[in-house]
Structure 1
Amino acid sequence: MATIDVIGGGLAGCEAAWRLASEGIHVRLHEMRPARMTAAHKTSGLAELVCSNSFRSDDAASNAVGLLHAELRDLGSLVMRAADAHQVPAGGALAVDREGFSAAVTGAIEGHTNITVVRGEATRLPDGPAILATGPLTSDAMAAALTRATGADALAFFDAIAPIVYRDSVDMDVAWFQSRYDKPGPGGTGADYLNCPMDRDQYGAFLDALLAADRVAFHAFEDTPYFDGCLPIEVMAERGRETLRHGPMKPIGLTNPHAPTHKPHAVVQLRQDNALGTLFNMVGFQTKLRHGAQAEVLRLIPGLERAEFARLGGLHRNTYIDAPRLLDGTLRLRTVPNLRVAGQVSGCEGYVEAAATGLMAGLFAASEALGQPTGVPPQTSAMGALLAHVTGGHLTDEAAGGADRPRSYQPMNVNFGLFPPLDIPDAAARGGRRGKPGRKLAYTERARQDFAAWREAVRRVEMA
Structure 2
Amino acid sequence: MNGAESPRDVVVVGGGLAGCEAAYQLAQRGLRVRLVEMKPHKRTPAQTSDRLAELVCSNSLRGAALSNAVGLLKEELRRVGSLALRCADETSVPAGGALAVDRERFAEAMTRAIETHPRITVEHREVTEIPAERPVILATGPLTSDALAASLAAAVGAEHLAYYDAIAPIVSADSIDWSRVWKQSRYGKGGAVRGDRAAQREQTAQPDRTAQREQTAQPEDAAERRDDAEAGDEAYVNCPFDEAQYKAFVQALVASEKVEARDFEEVRYFEGCLPCEVMAARGEQTLAFGPMKPVGLTDPRTGRRPYAVLQLRPEDEAATAYNLVGFQTRMKFAEQLRVFRMVPGLEEAEFLRMGSVHRNTFVDAPALLGPAMELRALPGVHLAGQISGVEGYVESAAAGFVCAVLLAQQLRNEPLRPPPPTTALGGILTHLGRKQPTYQPSNITWAHIAPLDPAQGKLRKRARYEAMAERALRDLDAWWAAG
> When the two structures are superposed, what TM-score results if normalisation uses the length of structure 2?
0.89
**Aligned residue in 2 for 1:289:** 331
Query: Does the alignment pair 1:232 with 2:275?
Result: yes
Query: Does the alignment pair 1:156 with 2:162?
Result: yes
**Aligned residue in 2 for 1:48:** 54
Query: Does the alignment pair 1:73 with 2:98?
Result: no
**Aligned residue in 1 for 2:460:** 435
**Aligned residue in 2 for 1:269:** 311
Q: Secondary structure at the match of 1:6?
A: strand
How far residue 221 of structure 1 moved from its aligned partner, in angstroms, is 4.7
Contact 2:12 2:136 in 1 (8 A): yes
Contact 2:185 2:228 in 1 (8 A): no
Q: Deviations over 1:252-289 (max 9, x none)?
A: 111111221x3201000000101221011000000000
Query: Does the alignment pair 1:117 with 2:136?
Result: no
CA distance in 2, matches of 1:444, 1:220: 46
169-178 or 414-423: bigger deviation: 414-423
Candidates 365, 375, 396, aligned match of 2:407: 365
Query: Does the alignment pair 1:141 with 2:147?
Result: yes
Query: Does the alignment pair 1:39 with 2:45?
Result: yes
Q: Secondary structure at the match of 1:274?
A: coil
Candidates 367, 372, 383, aligned match of 1:330: 372
**Aligned residue in 1 for 2:448:** 418
Query: Does the alignment pair 1:446 with 2:476?
Result: no
Contact 1:65 1:414 in 2 (8 A): yes
CA distance in 1, matches of 2:228, 2:120: 35
How far residue 222 of structure 1 moved from its aligned partner, in angstroms, is 4.8
CA distance in 2, matches of 1:283, 1:196: 11
Q: Letter of the aligned partner of 1:201 in structure 2? A: A
Query: Which runs of structure 2 are paired with 1:318-357 in the superposition (5 Å)?
Result: 318-357=360-399
**Aligned residue in 2 for 1:93:** 98
CA distance in 2, matches of 1:384, 1:150: 25
CA distance in 1, matches of 2:265, 2:248: 28
The ranges of structure 1 where at least 4 consecutive aligned residues each deviate by more than 6 angstroms after the TM superposition are: none
CA distance in 2, matches of 1:240, 1:416: 29
Q: Deviations over 1:112-162 (max 9, x none)?
A: 010000001012222211111000100111111111110112111111000
Any unmatched runs of 5+ in structure 2? 1-6, 190-226
28-37 or 8-17: bigger deviation: 28-37
How far residue 422 of structure 1 moved from its aligned partner, in angstroms, is 2.5
Query: Does the alignment pair 1:10 with 2:9?
Result: no
Q: Deviations over 1:93-125 (max 9, x none)?
A: 000001000000000100001000000101222
Any unmatched runs of 5+ in structure 1? 397-406, 459-464
**Alignment identity in percent?**
51
Equivalent residue pairs, number: 439
CA distance in 2, matches of 1:108, 1:223: 38
How far residue 417 of structure 1 moved from its aligned partner, in angstroms, is 1.5
User: What is the CA RMSD across the aligned residues, in angstroms?
Assistant: 1.5
**Aligned residue in 1 for 2:242:** 199
Q: Letter of the aligned partner of 2:472 in structure 1? A: A
CA distance in 1, matches of 2:367, 2:95: 38
Q: Deviations over 1:23-42 (max 9, x none)?
A: 11100000011111101001
CA distance in 2, matches of 1:241, 1:440: 33
Q: Deviations over 1:187-235 (max 9, x none)?
A: 9652100100001111011011111111110133552310001100000
**Aligned residue in 2 for 1:403:** none
Q: Alpha carbons of 1:222 and 1:374: their partners in 2 closer, same or farther (altered >3 Å)?
A: closer
Q: Deviations over 1:294-336 (max 9, x none)?
A: 1110011111111111001001111111111000112011011
Q: Secondary structure at the match of 1:218?
A: coil
> When the two structures are superposed, what TM-score results if normalisation uses the length of structure 1?
0.92
CA distance in 1, matches of 2:22, 2:36: 12
Q: Deviations over 1:47-71 (max 9, x none)?
A: 00000000001112x1100000011
How far residue 424 of structure 1 moved from its aligned partner, in angstroms, is 2.2
Contact 2:12 2:137 in 1 (8 A): yes
Contact 1:57 1:63 in 2 (8 A): yes
Q: Secondary structure at the match of 1:289?
A: coil
127-136 or 216-225: bigger deviation: 216-225
